[in-house]
Chains A and B, each alone.
Chain A
Amino acid sequence: MDLTLRVWRQKDGQSTGSLETYQVSGIIPDMSFLEMLDVTNERLIEEGKEPIAFDHDCREGICGACSLVINGKAHGGFSGTTTCQLHMRKFNDGDTITVEPWRASAFPVLKDLVVDRTSFDRIIQAGGFISANTGGAPDGNAVPIPKPDADAAMDAAACIGCGACAASCPNGSAMLFVAAKVSHLAHLPQGVPERGQRVLSMVARMDEEGFGNCTNHAECEAMCPKDISISHIAKMNREFIRATVRGE
């Protein structure tokens, strides 16, 4: 396959960036999207040019490191697929592909396609946990958890923290990410004691980090590579109202 790539290049957080065009030939349909970028980078290095920086690690769709807005869609917009799981067989010979970093004011660009997502870490630090010190936990079967609750918690917990939700939202909102954690823990009996404080703190932190609000566009759900449902946002809103009304 021969492709035309338009890639966002930006030296660092202080510089302004622009889209550069590259012609790449000899791409094989079995390559993953990141392997296509690897091949492009190898050629750039051989030509004495600087390779394209992008985040990636596990390359099997679970670590959440890879990002990229491909042709205007987070992770390329293929259902349930991260960029590292996207294969070139989904494209056609002769295609022009535009590759940009996540766009959200709370994810500043560090270089080229690499963004800073530590705002997500700080939201979790605000309350995305159950306060249980190591040691002294009761037997794992001491509190039975109905299978539907365990499954619902797992559906939410499958979030990989990649940031596609915020990058796809016209408001740059992180509601799906935050809701996934709130909903995961609120579905489990162990998460109940802190549920009020948790949702209030996490939402406050989300606002402080500069993420926008939710206006029900549902782009986040459509672009989520783990198919996290926006019903979790409804769950979070209920948790938030409950905690507010109770004056927690």
Chain B
Amino acid sequence: MDTNGSLNGNVPAGPLAEKWDNHRFNMKLVNPANRRRYKVIVVGSGLAGGGAAATLGELGYNVDCFCYQDSPRRAHSIAAQGGINAAKNYQNDGDSTYRLFYDTIKGGDFRSRESNVYRLAQVSANIIDQCVAMGVPFAREYGGQLANRSFGGAQVSRTFYARGQTGQQLLLGVYAALSRQIAAGTVKMHSRTEMLEIVLVDGQAKGVITRNLVTGEIEKHAADVVIMATGGYGPVFYLSTNAMGNNVTASIRAYMKGAYFANPCYTQIHPTCIPVSGDHQSKLTLMSESLRNDGRIWVPTKEGDPRGPAEIPEDERDYYLERMYPSFGNLAPRDIASRAAKRACDEGRGVGDTGLGVYLDFTDAIKRLSLPVVQQRYGNLFDMYEKITGENAYEVPMRIYPAIHYTMGGLWVDYNLMSNIPGLFVLGESNFSDHGANRLGASALMQGLADGYFVAPYTVGNYLASQTPGDYSADSSEFTQAADDVKDRIHRVLSIDGKRTVTSFHRELGMICWDYCGMARTDQSLKKALDLIPALKEEFWENVSVPGSGDELNPELEKALRVADFLEFAELMCYDALVREESCGGHFREEYQTEEGEALRDDEHFSHVSAWEAPRNGGRPILHKENLEFEEVEFSVRSYK
């Protein structure tokens, strides 16, 4: 492992609360008449990508936006249920920009960049205003004011929501803004088009190579700047709450071209998902964290209790979150709630056929609030639960278990959200910057829209102001070479003609990652994963079976290319987890825990971002550290007791 000097996050000088305002003033501007001369590529059409594409289009830039789905309205931001945080203090319960900032830093277990998080908290209030202006139908009180609910890791009520479909409504807002720009001609949308390579010219990002998923055509797209907002890498675990098409390809391709990948071991396991029912399972479904506002989580006190939930008397139930974390109770942060569930199941107290489940019980809430109130608050979630499990959760408690949900790690970016490759910006879940080692509920939507609406439009403009517009050509040798590389990769995967399906490889990779780099990791388990993954990768390239050809709609080929990239990435994730010899947030190393089983950080040795550079000639990735300096907050043990 080669360690170079500290990476510079380009954080502006000055007091924390003034950095962003000062920086905005100091940034260079592009004259409105000149903006159309700059071409911007945006990969991804979710909250971050779609928001950036629409906003840059409004500003007058010439934008090309890409998504693999058949419409930008289907980006996976749409599936977020619970809500979006904002420091509005509408509830008069003591919220402030500083408190949202502090909660996010603490929730992230002191592993995020202070200045980015403060900016996130600052712009959070603008996001709500913007969304209301665009017609997002947020929940309202009878007086017509915006309603709020509580979420994990916070003691104030600052989460705005649209029933259990907040992500959908925010994404449809972005989609509407994007559609308006498409109609205006400032944004050209390329749907069913997947980015398979990034192109650098003299070290600067100048374009992408894409595959038209309907015709199979390999296309070259050149621009003055490339923005990637391509989401997380949750499906490296195969089963996750992510969409089936979500992938790490864009990020890993950029990594292979020299972009640093930061903190890949920070993965979030969501505590409230519907448990796995069998081998056929293709994805896991999240039940919104908002359910923890009123539901009570428990397991029997006795190991292997065979009785049904209704037959277990009150004094033989262990409401373990309320017992262990009395001040936050069932609203303990996600990483803590997930590990507590795992511990209960490891002790043999899990429920359901597999023993991998805990109860989320609404009996008391129905008594306290009445059935209609519970139905009004959570009806759609109860319906969803019934569709999947065939059980009525108003009568029997829900069974839930943790599942991979979000990834805090991502491509390294500086304060301007630009990677170490000039001209490559990375937004939303695909960057690493704001959530540290654990993301708080309702903060993903906040970050996606903050990056897309309010940060990138400024910082990308600042970068473009220093560039000569049109200084690129899709006919240059760099583009030809990159397109040839992509064609070769496709040809190679199609010509293996092996015996195993792509999905069987993906499923096996997922099991390795979940078993050895999942909710709890050890030196031994990670070394085991690092043995197994290269072997699986080798087998993939010798024995995968991909039917059909490259010049047609071929979903198996799409999957094969994505799984090949997950195989590259999984090794990096496990290696990062091995090297980070501490526990923090979603990264829990069994060797490093307190007597009570809580994560034990090592601030002296690991208060840094691990940014990995791809190995040059085989071997291990190269570590670059960005030291995390906290000027405003002091390190503390993250206690939710």
Using a CB–CB cutoff of 8 Å, the interface residues on chain A facing chain B are 11-12, 28, 30-32, 34-35, 38-39, 42, 45-46, 48-51, 53, 55-65, 80-81, 85-87, 89, 110-111, 114, 116-118, 120-121, 124-126, 128-135, 137-141, 143-147, 150-151, 153-154, 157-158, 160-161, 184-185, 187-188, 190-191
Indicate with 1 or 0, residue by residue over B377-403, a CB within 8 angstroms of chain A CB atoms.
000000110011010000000000000
B280 within 8 A of A: yes
**Contact B135–A184 (Cβ < 8 Å):** yes
Residues of B within 8 A of A11 (CB): 552
Is there contact, CB below 8 Å, between B137 and A87? no
**How distant is the Cα of A139 from the Cα of B556 in the complex, in angstroms?**
48
Chain A residues, CB < 8 A from B282:
32, 34-35, 38, 59
List 12 additional A-B contacts (Cβ < 8 Å) besides A128-B176, A144-B145: A31-B280, A57-B76, A58-B76, A59-B285, A60-B285, A62-B168, A63-B76, A114-B553, A130-B133, A137-B129, A137-B132, A153-B135
Asked whether, in the complex, the Cβ of B169 is within 8 Å of the Cβ of A157, the reply is: yes
Are A154 and B162 interface neighbours, CB within 8 A?
yes
Given contacts A51-B555, A58-B79, contact A140 B176 (CB under 8 A): no
Q: Which of A32, A48, A140, A161 has the most chain B CB within a 10 Å cutoff?
A: A140
B140 touches A145 (CB 8 A): yes
Find chain A residues with CB under 8 A from B454 CB: 134-135
CA distance A117 to B72 in the complex (A): 12
- Residues of B445-503 whose CB lies within 8 A of A: 453-454, 457, 501, 503
**Count of B residues near A, CB < 8 Å?**
82
Asked whether any CB of chain A lies closer than 8 Å to the CB of B281, the reply is yes
**Which residues of B does A touch, CB under 8 Å?**
51, 54-55, 58, 69-74, 76, 78-79, 88, 90, 126, 128-135, 137-146, 162-163, 165, 167-169, 172, 175-177, 179-180, 182-183, 189, 191, 214, 241, 243-245, 277-278, 280-283, 285-286, 383-384, 387-388, 390, 453-454, 457, 501, 503-504, 545, 547-548, 552-556
Instruction: Give the dominant DSSP class at A's interface.
Output: loop
Residues of chain B with a CB closer than 8 A to A38's CB: 280, 282, 503
Question: Do A85 and B280 have beta carbons less than 8 Å apart?
Answer: no
Contact B244 A59 (CB under 8 A): yes
**Chain B nearest Cβ from A138, distance in angstroms:** 6
What are 12 A-B contacts defined by CB distance under 8 Å? A49-B547, A53-B554, A59-B244, A59-B285, A63-B74, A121-B71, A124-B176, A132-B130, A134-B51, A134-B453, A140-B128, A144-B143
Task: Give complex CA distance A129, B555 in Å.
Answer: 32
When A34-B282, A57-B69, A132-B134 are in contact, do A125 and B552 touch as well, CB less than 8 Å?
no
Whole-angstrom distance between the alpha carbons of A191 and B144 in the complex?
16
Do the beta carbons of B278 and A28 come within 8 Å of each other? yes
CB-based contact B501/A132 at 8 Å: no
A141 close to B90 (CB less than 8 A): yes
Q: In the complex, what distance in Å separates the CA atom of A157 from the CA atom of B172?
A: 9
CB distance from A34 to the nearest CB of B (A): 7
